[in-house]
Amino acid sequence: METLNFNNATATMAPSPLMTMLEVSIPGFSLIQRFLSDYFNIDLSQYLGALLLVAGFITASNYCWERFRGSLNQYFTCSAEVRYNDEIYNYLMYWISKEGLSKTSSHFVAGTQTKSSAVYGGDETEDEDYPDVEDSEMTEELALSLKNWDRMKKIKFTPSTGTHNFRYKGHWLTFTRSQEKDQGFYGSTKTDEISISCYGRNPQILKDLLQEAQVAYLERDGNKTIIYRGGRGYGGSMDDLEWIRCMSRPPRNMDTVVLDEGQKALVLNDMKEYLRPRTKKWYSNRGIPYRRGYLLHGPPGTGKTSLCFALAGLLHLPIYVAGLNSGKVSEEGLASLFRDLPERCIVLLEDIDSAGLTMKRKDDETPAVEEDKTDDNKDSNKAAVPSGQQGPAPAADSNSKGVSLSGFLNIIDGVASSEGRILVMTTNHPDKLDAALLRPGRVDLSIQFGYASYDVLKGLFMAIYSTRGPEVAKMKASKKSEPEMNGNANGNANGNANGNANGLANGTVNESNGVLTNEQVVAWATKFAELVPADVYTPAEIQGYLLQHKTAPENAIDEIGMWMDTMKKKKATTAALAST
């Protein structure tokens, strides 16, 4: 009965103000208190002081630890932060995916790419070459394994969000990856923020790592030609343009560009002379802007862009492509692109005649009195404009977005223009360009591309059917690895390297070694050039036809007459449609 009275007295005891405050501030506190009291006979009010003491101790410990760790990181560690929208993000993530950190981490991100979509629009599978398999080596099993080769991509692993420790050159480094919400021009996106830190006050180890990552990323391209394209910056407007790397391609041999040898030597030697270190000093001593401009003009398909790409590969220069034909590029955006150009590069502006820069000076000089003409006079003026020529620009075009001629001239040759770059412009109609654009200093060398001459026809045929050096080297290596055949030992193989031409007479590439003798190719090329009229077809048209018979040179010669008849009818039909 005493215990019962004691419990009744306790139950009727008024709660303390502290308990009342806890019940109000902590939801469910009274329920927990009643549960512990009924089932475990525990009165929380007796342990409340100890609980508050423990909670205060934990809070104070966490606060002191955070302050201590903050001071430690501030005064005793070095760190390097890498932004998601910078190209060095690609360098570091590519290096991380190749090193042991990604292999040993138990928490990782799996993907086919490690790059940032904000700074690089290209593919990272460039180093995964398609298997080089001869037709004779192709089996059913190998063909099945290659069926999905283009769709199969190597899976790459990078550390997941959080903190990861690893060793680099005897130092312990910390890799931290986090995700943040970024509010851009077109909405919010989640972006990666990564940092690398080390203990000590010397950040050199971090700089060495970033430098090694950059070298490893660039060495992946080897001798390839890097191509950049102007585009909208990550999260920016159309005025915030920047150079975005889009691809890297194997360099093109100058021998494969079929052009007059004198013209090729002229532009090549001119570029080499311009890129010499002493030339820059010579320009500076005489107060001449260190810039060089080229105009490649001629009909479509004559090799203008091919020559530019071959020159970039031979001179080891990147190509920066700026598109002016979209109408969305503003003068400020184009000026920002040219400001960001490196010194040694080729800037390619294709089809400059269709970029909206033609005839603008004449439009600007149109007298304002013409606006007072009557409607009948306006209609007669419209009817008087010849077909294919540009009439007066509408008034609304003056307010439209784009690049004006004067603005473009200031960008490429103004006071604030960048120096050291090579500007290459291509056009199909040089007569439509303003004379101010073609003056020396803006266009220093003009190269004309024409239809395929006799020498070009012969050169194209030899370029298609002559065996290149890498092909010969591969053939020799494969022959060394194969056992000698009885037919070869007896000298009975058609068209082999001993000069027997029996295998060349059938008009197909010899299947035993794949090599045609130079004399036979020259003879066929001469015959082909004599059958095709000069200065009628573009090199692209001739090359397209030869590619249809890339393993049958004699068939290409035999069927050239039918092809020319087809092209003649096609061009006549196109001309008839254009006249209507």
Backbone angles phi, psi at 305, to 5 degrees: -65, -35
Query: Contacts for 473-481 with beta carbons within 8 Å, 24 or more apart?
Result: 474/132, 475/513, 475/514, 475/515, 478/134, 479/513
Higher pLDDT, 151 or 88: 88
Higher pLDDT, 115 or 494: 115
Nearest to 268 by CA among 282, 252, 254, 249: 254
Higher pLDDT, 297 or 24: 297
Cα gap 91→210, rounded to integer Å: 8
Max mean pLDDT among 10-19, 102-111, 361-370 falls in 102-111
Count CA atoms closer than 13 A to 21's CA, side-chain side: 4
The DSSP code sequence of 466-526 is SPPHHHHHHHHHHHHHSPPPHHHHTT--TT-TTS--GGGTTSS--TTT----HHHHHHHHH
The interaxial angle of helices 277-285 and 261-275, nearest 10 deg, is 70
Higher pLDDT, 251 or 147: 251
Tell me the Ramachandran region of residue 576: left when phi exceeds 0, alpha when psi lies from -120 to 50, beta otherwise. Answer: alpha
Q: Which two tokens stand for residue 13?
A: 């005891």
Q: Indicate whether 494 pLDDT > 50.
A: no
Taking only the tens place, the pLDDT of each residue in 500-547 is 333 333 344 443 445 578 888 899 999 999 999 998 998 889 999 999
Nearest to 516 by CA among 467, 560, 553, 468: 467
Q: What is the pLDDT of residue 223?
A: 86
Least confident of 174-183, 297-306, 402-411: 174-183
Q: What is the pLDDT of residue 326?
A: 64
Taking CA atoms, 396 is separated from 392, 399, 401, in Å, by 12, 6, 10
Domains along the sequence of the chain with CATH: 18-75 (no CATH), 83-125+152-220 (no CATH), 243-363+401-448 (3.40.50.300), 454-482+501-579 (no CATH)
Contacts of 517 (CB under 8 A, 6+ apart): 499, 501, 504
Taking only the tens place, the pLDDT of each residue in 342-397 is 889 999 998 888 776 644 554 544 444 444 444 444 444 444 444 444 444 443 34
Q: What rounded mean pLDDT belongs to the chain?
A: 75
pLDDT band at 240 (very low <50, low <70, confident <90, very high): confident
In this structure, how many other beta carbons lie within 10 angstroms of the beta carbon of residue 162?
11
Max mean pLDDT among 101-110, 125-134, 479-488 falls in 101-110
Q: Indicate whether 120 pLDDT > 50.
A: no
Cα gap 331→406, rounded to integer Å: 10
Report percent pLDDT > 90 for the chain: 17
pLDDT band at 422 (very low <50, low <70, confident <90, very high): very high
Q: Rounded to 5, what percent of the chain is helix, strand, coil? A: 50, 15, 35
Cα gap 448→193, rounded to integer Å: 51
Cα gap 264→455, rounded to integer Å: 14
Cα gap 314→431, rounded to integer Å: 31
**Alpha-carbon dihedral 518, 521, 525, 531, rounded to 10 degrees:** 150
In this structure, how many other beta carbons lie within 10 angstroms of the beta carbon of residue 347?
22
Tell me the Ramachandran region of residue 499: left when phi exceeds 0, alpha when psi lies from -120 to 50, beta otherwise. Answer: left
In this structure, how many other beta carbons lie within 10 angstroms of the beta carbon of residue 442?
17
* Contact in structure between 296 and 304 (CB atoms under 8 Å): yes
Count CA atoms closer than 13 A to 52's CA, side-chain side: 9
Q: What is the pLDDT of residue 259?
A: 79
Q: Which two tokens stand for residue 553?
A: 């040179």
Mean pLDDT of 189-206: 85
Q: Indicate whether 317 pLDDT > 80.
A: yes
Cα gap 59→33, rounded to integer Å: 23
Strand partners, 166: 173
Q: What is the pLDDT of residue 579?
A: 78
Cα gap 202→39, rounded to integer Å: 61
Mean pLDDT of 15-44: 75
Taking only the tens place, the pLDDT of each residue in 260-273 is 788 889 999 999 99
- Tokens 């130092």 appear where? 171
